Chain A
Amino acid sequence: MKLKLLWHSRAAILALSTALPLLAQPAESKPKLTAGQVSGLTKQLGASGTKLYLSWQEYDLPSSGLPLDERSAVVEDLLKRYEARRQAYSAVSNLNSYGTIATATVAAVGATVLTGGAALPVAAAGVLGATGFQLNGRFLDSSEGKVADAMVYEIGTELVLQTGMLDLAQFRGKPEELRQLVEGPLRESDAYLADVKARAQAIGDQRLVDTTIDVVITRLALMDEAQLRAAEANAASITDLSERFSLVAEHLHQRLVKTEVTLDRHEQNITELQTGMVALGGAIVAMDAQIQTLGRNQTLIADFAFSRMSPREKADALRNGLLDGRIRCPKDQSDCDVSEIKTAMITRYEADADLQDNIETAGNVLKGIHDARQIAANLGIELGKDAELALNVGTAALGAYVQFQSGNPLGAVASLTSLFGNRPDPDQQRFEAMMGFMRQQFGLVNAKLDTVLENQQAIMDGIVDLSEQIEASHNALDEKLNRIDWLQQKMDANIKQLLWRDWQGCNAVYRFALKPDEQSAPLVNLKTLRFHNFEALRDTIQSKGDDARACRATISRSRASLFDTASFGNFLGTTSAFSDDEAAAHLTPEEFRDLGDIRSAAQRFTQDVIAPQNRILFAWLARRQIDPATALFAFTMPLAGADDLAIVSRWLEDGQRYACPVLGQERPEDLGRYAISGLVCGPQVNTQGLASEYLSASYSTDVLTEITRWSLVSAQLLDLYSGATGNFELDLVKLADNSGNFPVGRSMVNAALDLATLGHAFQERIFGGLMGQIVFEDLSNGRATPDHALALTSNPYLAQNVAMLMLRAARANEPIIDGSAGPSFLDRYYQAYLMASDPEAPNMDGLRALFGAAMRFAQREDGLPTLILDIAGQNPALPLPGPQQLIEARFTVPQNRDTLLADRAVLVDWLAEYDLIDDPDLALLLINP
């Protein structure tokens, strides 16, 4: 009876209706940003940067105006555009009707340099997760919502009177004080939540009470007058209110418990991942040590290690004796034991395979795009078909894969498709704010999330370390093939600084961000190179603003003349960068000597590799009537093997040619053309002339990798730089108002991306499959010249790729893997390869039997079997591909090609952050979901 009276107390209603909305009002000191300003900032700083910097201090941000049921579609569209953009920069979009270029090898070796990509899809997926959570809040259906509101109203009304809070306005802006005031009575008094408390007692979980109290207090602080009046009416009409509310609370509680369990499982998986990584790291070290004992006999191991088999397949193949009798210890190597090598290799690949299984399991539990996909990519692991589908951002398959019903808000990247048809009702919408708040409030879940995220970060760091280990291991094997002096030269830091002195500004910013002084920690995340927070960025600007300006000038100037030896592009042309006197003044005598070695190696590389290959290339272009831009475009495609090459060749043979995209007429199928549009397109630009220059220039991958890193750091400073005023703008509100005037950071990232594209095109041009095909065509058609002989003699990567094409052509009339009885072609080639590399009695009968008696083979002085050509009186010896490589038709390229490609992918991601969020409501959704 007393309660009944209280419900109808006008005083209570008035107190609640006037005071509670005020509690939710923002603090007066918060700077306010409009949707347009947030959108401007996003274009200026990128989505991740904007989000990071806005967290520096509290801003009053509006909510996205997008209706709930449209959010998923908008975000999905964003993700689709993002995927299209990524595809465009692997330049395959235009070739879609011809097939898909395999880029598996790109990830096969740890992409170790940067791991800062994919920030945009992660942010977007977070929004999808939130959206899914909101939409999935339907379990609080209309009647349940009414029950909860009515109960909250009832309790709230009573509390107002019982606690003497006649004027709740005094709690304006102090929700925590309101919490303190009402939590005690709610928790301690038998009068409140009696039914819930009894249920908690019965199930032995007091957290049910915590959950319920959170619901009441949160809802109390959010209800406006209209809602209060509606709740009052509902309260009068609902029977068994207390009991029904308990059911709602219990339902909610169960969800949270399930979420905790899910997170526990994920945490356990992460722990297993960490254990797996440690095991793999140890196994790699052990295997490397064993393989070292093989000395020059490592060739077949390298062939096996680089093969496309999965780790499990490799372990199985080894166990089934694939390399038995094929690995041979040197006679003078007493500590070499073939069985130990085999055991170490099996252990290593099994550890790898186990780790892959664990990653899949982790993916199944959390379905986290960020961790599973990134880990898999860094390790070159192919996820299972289902997992890959699920992780394909923005596809409906995600929804099927991820179920909110598992009680996992993180994993609620949503059964979006099935939800589109269900429009949320008003009750649900009223609960959304509360649900969102609760999500942040439940301590246990949050703590677990923190742990999981912390562990995930540790995993990421571990992955990078592991990738570096794998890369080092692969590089060690690669060295057996690599006989190009220039590629083996390691430059001392001082020489680098001298060589790139025009870039000192960029380098200075980079070094400061990494190490402001002896005592301070890095200001950027070493893996992603993003500044930790706005203060770190501001400090760097204050200390190194001038250097950043200089960096901007350098990259602007250099970009205009990327092929110009003197200013930027040709890092191989060390002689022209500075005089001997200058070098001597800056370097120690030892460094000066090293510089001499580097210069002569670079000179040899230019004379023996680049110059003859350029002549071969341009003759081929003229003969085939292919313009330079088309050739440059073709060289931007990473060709993993002969299958990819066939796609590109067909594309060229069909008369397809590169054309600059027309501004304002972009078609999705033309996206690929953007891969080089920044380099060769533009008003009054001589596209073919520029492309021709780029096709003639030469670049160092190592240099480009470093410059990419410098550029990313400087670009973050220059995001705040106005070219018009020459100043940095540190006030985000002012920056937002003038966002159109600050395109410098984006243009810097764009320039770095162009550099990386050029670098990769250079690598493909010198070492890759298309160049191999060009040389092979010339040889087959009697057009070989001394240039061909010189290039094949000096460039072992090209030589091996040409040898592979020749061997496959020799077998063209027979299947490369014959299905006839007896040993497979792989076994036959293994046997022939071993006969030919026998150190005491090399025997070429097997190779000639397999590939034709007209072919000449011989053993090189290091034991490698080679194919001997006769070109203009010279006899270049082409190293034969290993058995796995021949079967897989895989091209050989220097390992650092993969590092460059991985860096390039990161740059594409950064650029997408600036470009793809064109709608203010979408920007708000990402920044303030």
Chain B
Amino acid sequence: MRAFALRLFPVLVWFVPIAAIAEDLPNFVGKPVGDLRAFASSQNITLREEAFLSSAPPDYVVWHVPGEGGAVGFDRVMRAGVSLGAEAPNLLGAPLPDAVAQLEAMGLPYASVPVAEPGFAGEVVRQTPKPLEKFDASRLVVFLAVSEGGIAMPALAGRRLDHALAALRQAGLTGAVEHPPSSHWAANSYEVEKGCGSDIERTAIVSHSTPPQGSFSGFEQPVMLQYDIRTRRINPRGCIFRGPQIE
């Protein structure tokens, strides 16, 4: 009997504080994990954390086992799920309906705004938070900037007019025109006139565009290319013809 008591004593001594914890285990769900860590440390409990993505704020407890009022086992171990926050999916380039569907499926709040920026109409061209960035979905929303459709005007100055027009139309800017209007130069911006002594080369070169380089142009928006005709002598050779000189 005495031996049994002696064996039981350390068990009892060890058990008493556990029983006290088991009855008083508070609820840490929705609280900073720091609170749970401090509690665990003060109660000599081993805390095993599992971090995962969630719409809860980063570093907040999402669940713990045992739960509120539960008992810590003999191993004195608690497990807790800790939020890493949400992770913004990469929505760049996605059509808005697809992006919205994805966000809703993930339970993430969002708001969108059309922007006059290059891209296909309805395509997400910018997002905040950035792709794969962790964030607190309880306080932040995913703002989506959605293109109204259009391109950024490329550098056209110095290019041949017909090439520039072709490039713009190929990009979808069907309203691109030359200025002053000249179907001749728009169709073929290069010609050579044979002459005595040398040939004369004429090239229609874009001087600037409206909208200018770098700015946004919607697909329906008119684009105007201004051009100069540049001339120069080529192929010099001897010539006996004395006619009017071309400068």
In the complex, the answer to whether B143 meets A823 with C-beta atoms within 8 Å is no
Taken together as a complex, chains A and B put the C-alpha atoms of A461 and B136 apart, in Å, by 47
A810 at the interface (CB under 8 A from B): no
Smallest beta-carbon distance B91→chain A, Å: 13
In the complex, the answer to whether A843 meets B113 with C-beta atoms within 8 Å is no
- CB interface residues, A 830-854, toward B, < 8 Å: 830-832, 835, 843, 845-846, 848-850, 853
Neighbouring A residues of B126 by C-beta, 8 Å: 843, 845
B7 at the interface (CB under 8 A from A): no
In the complex, the answer to whether B115 meets A823 with C-beta atoms within 8 Å is no
Smallest beta-carbon distance B151→chain A, Å: 19
B139 at the interface (CB under 8 A from A): yes
Neighbouring B residues of A828 by C-beta, 8 Å: 111, 141
Taken together as a complex, chains A and B put the C-alpha atoms of A843 and B83 apart, in Å, by 27
In the complex, the answer to whether A849 meets B143 with C-beta atoms within 8 Å is yes
Query: Which of A835, A845, A846 counts the most B-chain CB atoms under 10 A from its CB?
Result: A845
B114 at the interface (CB under 8 A from A): yes
In the complex, the answer to whether B111 meets A850 with C-beta atoms within 8 Å is yes
A827 at the interface (CB under 8 A from B): yes
A821 at the interface (CB under 8 A from B): yes
A421 at the interface (CB under 8 A from B): no
In the complex, the answer to whether B111 meets A849 with C-beta atoms within 8 Å is yes
Contact with A along B107-118 (1 / 0, CB 8 A): 001011111000
In the complex, the answer to whether B139 meets A845 with C-beta atoms within 8 Å is no
- With known contacts A849-B112, A853-B114, A823–B139 Cβ distance under 8 A: yes
In the complex, the answer to whether B143 meets A845 with C-beta atoms within 8 Å is yes
Could you say which of B113, B128, B141 contacts A822, with CB atoms under 8 Å apart? B141
In the complex, the answer to whether B138 meets A843 with C-beta atoms within 8 Å is no
- Count how many pairs of residues, one from A and one from B, have CB atoms less than 8 Å apart in the complex: 47
B140 at the interface (CB under 8 A from A): yes
B145 at the interface (CB under 8 A from A): yes
- CB interface residues, B 139-176, toward A, < 8 Å: 139-141, 143-145
Smallest beta-carbon distance A158→chain B, Å: 73
Taken together as a complex, chains A and B put the C-alpha atoms of A831 and B109 apart, in Å, by 13
- With known contacts A821-B109, A828-B111, A853-B114, A846–B138 Cβ distance under 8 A: no
In the complex, the answer to whether A835 meets B109 with C-beta atoms within 8 Å is no
- With known contacts A828-B111, A853-B114, A845–B140 Cβ distance under 8 A: no
- CB interface residues, B 99-129, toward A, < 8 Å: 109, 111-115, 126, 128
Taken together as a complex, chains A and B put the C-alpha atoms of A821 and B115 apart, in Å, by 26
The size of the chain A interface, using a CB distance under 8 A, is 18
Neighbouring B residues of A325 by C-beta, 8 Å: 136
B: contact size bracket: 10 to 19
Q: Chain B at the A interface: mostly helix, strand, loop or mixed?
A: strand
Could you say which of B113, B128, B138, B145 contacts A823, with CB atoms under 8 Å apart? B138
In the complex, the answer to whether A843 meets B128 with C-beta atoms within 8 Å is yes
Neighbouring A residues of B139 by C-beta, 8 Å: 823, 827, 830-831
In the complex, the answer to whether A835 meets B138 with C-beta atoms within 8 Å is no
In the complex, the answer to whether B141 meets A845 with C-beta atoms within 8 Å is no
Neighbouring B residues of A843 by C-beta, 8 Å: 126, 128
Neighbouring B residues of A830 by C-beta, 8 Å: 139
Taken together as a complex, chains A and B put the C-alpha atoms of A823 and B144 apart, in Å, by 16
Taken together as a complex, chains A and B put the C-alpha atoms of A473 and B214 apart, in Å, by 47
Query: Which of A830, A846, A848, A849 counts the most B-chain CB atoms under 10 A from its CB?
Result: A849
Smallest beta-carbon distance B246→chain A, Å: 47
In the complex, the answer to whether B141 meets A835 with C-beta atoms within 8 Å is no
- With known contacts A822-B141, A823-B138, A827-B140, A845–B109 Cβ distance under 8 A: no
- With known contacts A823-B141, A828-B141, A831-B141, A849–B109 Cβ distance under 8 A: no
Smallest beta-carbon distance B218→chain A, Å: 14
Taken together as a complex, chains A and B put the C-alpha atoms of A325 and B111 apart, in Å, by 21
Taken together as a complex, chains A and B put the C-alpha atoms of A821 and B107 apart, in Å, by 10
Neighbouring A residues of B114 by C-beta, 8 Å: 853
- CB interface residues, A 844-896, toward B, < 8 Å: 845-846, 848-850, 853
Taken together as a complex, chains A and B put the C-alpha atoms of A849 and B109 apart, in Å, by 13
In the complex, the answer to whether B113 meets A848 with C-beta atoms within 8 Å is yes
- CB interface residues, A 315-337, toward B, < 8 Å: 321, 325
Smallest beta-carbon distance A300→chain B, Å: 14
Smallest beta-carbon distance A90→chain B, Å: 39
Could you say which of A821, A845, A853 contacts B128, with CB atoms under 8 Å apart? A845
Q: Please give me the residue from chain A that is nearest to B58 by CB atom.
A: A325
In the complex, the answer to whether A823 meets B112 with C-beta atoms within 8 Å is no
Smallest beta-carbon distance A758→chain B, Å: 46
Neighbouring B residues of A321 by C-beta, 8 Å: 57
Neighbouring A residues of B115 by C-beta, 8 Å: 845, 848, 853
Beyond the given pairs A828-B111, A832-B143, 18 more chain A to chain B contacts, judged by CB atoms under 8 angstroms and listed by A's residue number, are A822-B137, A823-B139, A823-B140, A823-B141, A831-B141, A835-B128, A835-B143, A845-B126, A845-B128, A845-B144, A845-B145, A846-B128, A846-B143, A849-B111, A849-B112, A849-B113, A849-B143, A853-B115
Closest 5 CB pairs of A and B: A822-B109, A849-B113, A849-B111, A848-B113, A827-B139
Chain A to chain B contacts (Cβ below 8 Å), 9 pairs: A821-B109, A822-B141, A823-B138, A831-B141, A835-B143, A846-B111, A849-B143, A849-B144, A853-B114
> Could you list which residues of chain A lie within 8 angstroms of chain B, going by C-beta atoms?
321, 325, 821-823, 827-828, 830-832, 835, 843, 845-846, 848-850, 853
> Could you list which residues of chain B lie within 8 angstroms of chain A, going by C-beta atoms?
57, 109, 111-115, 126, 128, 136-141, 143-145
